[in-house]
Structure 1
């Protein structure tokens, strides 16, 4: 009796599996088990979503913009790559930054040269009237500015000059990279012509901490943008 009961359970378990298979006898006599074709699947088993031709996105990349040309022009002349990419508003920013850094380079170089000349006057023969930076030399002597203090301001001017030069080169390189990125974007991507904006009314469910209020749902607006 227990054996018959176990045999009955085994037969009941295997029956749905046996009925789910569809046997197809081929010419070679082999049994081919096929699955029911699901909606939205191709013969290879991969999903093949249906695309509405009216909603299909249309892209128009600008093949006339070459990133190599943009970066090379910016390396030769700052802002030329931005003009090539039609980003005219960036040119004043680039030259504004380069102009400020150029003025800082000139000012700190002048200060460094002045303090260096005065230091050499102190280490050698005093200058005669009419020599370069003679008035500044007399002023430092009258105010008893020490050699150590003079050396500090001289090295500070040299450091600021070097930092200004590095900043100038950094801005030059950044604007070249910016021109390359803009050209790459224009060359590879574009904005779709089929832009749409749809607003639909809806309701928002209250959060768990706000369930004690008198109303469970609050009105809302759902905005869908298509790019």
Structure 2
């Protein structure tokens, strides 16, 4: 009897342990499903810190822009062709008139000084001061009497050389005005030609960005830094 009693007790304990272990497993599974969360993707988190790139502007040609009209306007009035192009004309027009104004001032001053030194040279060349009416160069002497007294001790060759220099400056200034007038007309034509016939968009572009250059292994013997600063130039041709 005692053996049967011990056997019954053993089977009861074994069944109780099995039921307890099964309940604990179910509880743990429920706890695991409620606590564990799916891992976050690293890529999604990193994209939040990447700034959005702005779309570059695309330039398209203007078939209604006439290059010949820009040239005609520039030849009539300097800067008119640049104003017609309307591309960066805010600084070109003042630059054109500043150059023409400086050359115009040089023309006036050179002509005035040329006449003065030429008259002084002619008066000194006669050897007589024309103080009486009817004498040669009397009108010129009365007009430049103060300048004559100022340069009375200067050599006559210096007066002749000064007159020649101012005459040359006068001629160069006139040629410079013609050159500036022509250059601004050509510039207006080229600008209008690009607006009318050519396109500068993403298919043809150049970008300059700073960067670092990785040195070769054989060049890193006595260099503490493996990278050196540089400039990266990127050409886009499609």
Q: Into which bin does the TM-score normalised by the smaller protein fall?
A: 0.5 to 0.7
User: How far, CA to CA, are the matches of 1:110 and 1:157 in structure 2?
Assistant: 9
Structure 2 residue matching 1:63: 3-state secondary structure: coil
The alignment yields a C-alpha RMSD, in angstroms, of 3.9
Distance 1:127 1:183, change over 3 A: farther
Structure 2 residue matching 1:157: 3-state secondary structure: helix
Q: CA deviation at 1:139?
A: 2.2
Aligned equivalent of 1:174, options 169, 176, 183: 183
Structure 2 residue matching 1:162: 3-state secondary structure: helix
Q: CA deviation at 1:209?
A: 3.0
TM-score (norm: length of structure 2): 0.57
Structure 1 stretches of 5 or more lacking a match? 1-57, 197-202
Aligned equivalent of 2:95, options 93, 96, 112: 93
Distance 1:183 1:139, change over 3 A: same
Which residue does the alignment assign to 1:145? 154
Which residue does the alignment assign to 1:62? 62
Which residue does the alignment assign to 1:132? 143
Distance 1:127 1:65, change over 3 A: farther
State whether structure 2 residue 163 is matched by structure 1 residue 154: yes
User: How far, CA to CA, are the matches of 1:213 and 1:101 in structure 2?
Assistant: 58
Does the 8 Å contact 2:82/2:188 carry over to 1? Answer: yes
Does the 8 Å contact 2:103/2:173 carry over to 1? Answer: yes
Distance 1:209 1:117, change over 3 A: same
Structure 2 stretches of 5 or more lacking a match? 1-57, 133-137, 206-211
Does the 8 Å contact 1:127/1:134 carry over to 2? Answer: no
Distance 1:98 1:223, change over 3 A: closer
| Paired positions, count | 165
Does the 8 Å contact 1:59/1:189 carry over to 2? Answer: no
Distance 1:162 1:225, change over 3 A: closer
Q: CA deviation at 1:80?
A: 0.5
User: How far, CA to CA, are the matches of 1:111 and 1:136 in structure 2?
Assistant: 11
Aligned equivalent of 1:121, options 117, 123, 127: 123
Q: CA deviation at 1:136?
A: 1.0
Q: CA deviation at 1:127?
A: 4.5
Q: Tell which structure's C-alpha radius of gyration is larger.
A: 2
